[in-house]
Structure 1
Amino acid sequence: MKPEHKDIMKARKRNIRLTVAYDGTNYHGFQRQTPPVVAVQNVLEDKLHKVFGDSVELAAAGRTDAGVHARGQVVNFFTDGTIPVDRVPRAVNSLLPPDIVILEAMEADRDFSARHSAISKTYEYRILQGDIPDPFERNYSWNIRKNLDITAIEQCLELLKGEHDFSAFRAAGGPPVSPVRNIYEAGLRVEGDGRIVVLSFHANGFLYHMVRNIVGTLGNVGLGWKSVDDFKLIMESLDRQKAGATAPPQGLYLDKVYY
């Protein structure tokens, strides 16, 4: 939000917090874009404007990239609109396309910010392993066409836990912030017929493309191209050039934001 808009918005009577789920396949990420490029924020703000009757500028917990999905994105906005908060999901969902859904709406404190009040987030990444693609998974997972060494990946996940400098997994172009983050949990589960591998990361914050860069490197370990010791050395090197390629966006989900 532009600084000159912030005071205007905060002068309004209500601060509304929304939990939103979306399929990011057809959008150029979450953050508002200049038409004809369409992002999730463009669509949400347009429909919220219709329901609340005033202009809406959303603050979001995470600016997901093009093709990335969310199960628990959190946004907030200030409004003078009078619609009761319990009627907001039904009213706005009736206008939204089917790939964006408001799950919950609530009145928030004046000082609540979806972005700045967050204390941690969980991201998940889905991998489809095996040489036979699944047309129904192509927009929702990364198909690695070999079976992975799950044990080796789990050993790498243990190395990620705790407070570390994650410069080795930091993409260029992100904001100038400290590369030190604390990963509270890093886990793996196998779903369905054993072909879906879900990696989960809960941390106090994430660097630009951090999860996708970690997953790309874990994929190399799972394929036997890198060892667990190699992964440890990559982490310690703080050198992005030594890590694996960035995993594709469609496997990534913003799962939950904690306040």
Structure 2
Amino acid sequence: MSSTKVRYLIFFQYFGTQYSGVMWTPVTQSVLGVQNYLEMAAQKLRPVGSIKFSISSRTDTGVHAICNTAHVDIERAAGKPPFTETVLVQALNHHLQPESISVLKAIRVSDNFHARYKALSRTYVYRIMTGCCYAQMPVFERHRCWPVQEGLNLAAIHEAAQLLLGTHDFSAFRCANSDNAFKSPIKTLLQADITPASCFLTHNLQYRDLQFWDFTFKSKSFLYKQVRRMTGALVAVGRGQLTPQHVKELLETRDPKAFPGSALAPPDGLFLKEVEYDEMDLSTEQILS
């Protein structure tokens, strides 16, 4: 009997502090990427040939994912049926222990499906905590949010965020030394919301003055470090260090060197929340067609 190669879309999450980022890194490095561990776990399933995950959305060192995605081709030995989606999830999670990585779901997709290029949108959330400095923050929140000691002018932040919505040249919000500098800086920001968030320790009197805010951004794709730069600029507005007009002027400069380096938000509070796809691309009919 011949073997069959099957492509799966994998949904997975991770706590990014202990990894070099999501992308594969040479095994000679002291800190590996999330992709390294996903591939090592899949290789333990004894597939035919080597395993390669194609990641949909890049995240850097210290950045977390509530849900990232990747596609992977798995071919089993002759005579063995393809893994069911449920069994594949269970097997991968078994071999991922004790890493801070978990596979949430697997969906069998067509052979030409691409996790990166088929994505309709990506949503990132950046968590801000106000009311204390890093040394005073709850230990359970460390590496999961950006502590800002002073309060923020939310009205000014909302005003500045509205200026970022829509289609713009976001060159000023990209990393000046980005390897992807040749890519188009024209992006359409579909969402830029700032909403209250919660902490399960807020009932403790010691932390009663803490406030948490989610900065949510949605677009089909983002430039390298764009979300961290947008967040940093908005927080600078909230602190009174910049004005909404300054944000507008930054956009208009189209110059990454014009961005104040001190305004770059740290990676700790950034989460990739969701990668969205067209349901038709994930349907059984599409696979069989």
Q: Give the TM-score normalised by the residue count of structure 2.
A: 0.82
> Offset at 1:182?
0.4
Other-structure match for 2:39: 45
In the TM superposition, what whole-angstrom CA distance separates every residue of 1:86-124 from its partner, at most 9, and x where no partner exists? 211111111213510100001011111111211211111
Confirm or deny: 8 A CA contact 1:15 1:79 kept in the other structure: yes
Other-structure match for 1:6: none
Change beyond 3 A, Cα 1:160–1:52: farther
Other-structure match for 2:230: 214
Distance of 1:134 and 1:182 partners within structure 2: 36
Q: Does 1:157 align with 2:166?
A: no
Which stretch has the larger CA shift, 224-233 or 188-197?
Answer: 188-197
> Aligned to 2:69, which of 74, 90, 100?
74
Distance of 2:46 and 2:276 partners within structure 1: 27
Moved over 4 A (4+): none
| Higher-Rg member (1/2) | 2
> Offset at 1:133?
2.2
Confirm or deny: 8 A CA contact 2:143 2:269 kept in the other structure: yes
> Aligned to 1:170, which of 169, 174, 197?
174
Other-structure match for 2:54: 59
Other-structure match for 2:205: none
Distance of 1:13 and 1:137 partners within structure 2: 42
In the TM superposition, what whole-angstrom CA distance separates every residue of 1:122-178 from its partner, at most 9, and x where no partner exists? 111011112242222111111111111111111111111110000110102231110
Q: Does 1:243 align with 2:243?
A: no
Any unmatched runs of 5+ in structure 1?
A: 1-10
Other-structure match for 1:140: 144
> Offset at 1:239?
2.1
Task: Give secondary structure in 2 for the equivalent of 1:47.
Answer: helix
Task: Give secondary structure in 2 for the equivalent of 1:174.
Answer: coil
Confirm or deny: 8 A CA contact 1:52 1:80 kept in the other structure: no
Task: Give secondary structure in 1 for the equivalent of 2:95.
Answer: coil
Distance of 1:15 and 1:198 partners within structure 2: 35
Confirm or deny: 8 A CA contact 1:89 1:104 kept in the other structure: yes
Other-structure match for 1:34: 26
Other-structure match for 2:107: 106
Change beyond 3 A, Cα 1:223–1:189: same
Which stretch has the larger CA shift, 123-132 or 65-74?
Answer: 123-132
Task: Give secondary structure in 2 for the equivalent of 1:51.
Answer: coil
Distance of 2:245 and 2:46 partners within structure 1: 55
Confirm or deny: 8 A CA contact 1:121 1:256 kept in the other structure: yes
Q: Give the TM-score normalised by the residue count of structure 1.
A: 0.91
Question: Partner letter of residue 87 of structure 2?
Answer: R
Other-structure match for 2:15: 23
Question: Partner letter of residue 173 of structure 1?
Answer: S
> Offset at 1:79?
1.6
Confirm or deny: 8 A CA contact 1:89 1:105 kept in the other structure: yes
Other-structure match for 2:83: 83
When the two structures are aligned, how many residues end up with a matched partner?
Answer: 249
How well do the aligned residues superpose, as a CA RMSD in angstroms? 1.6
Which stretch has the larger CA shift, 20-29 or 242-251?
Answer: 242-251
Distance of 1:202 and 1:42 partners within structure 2: 27
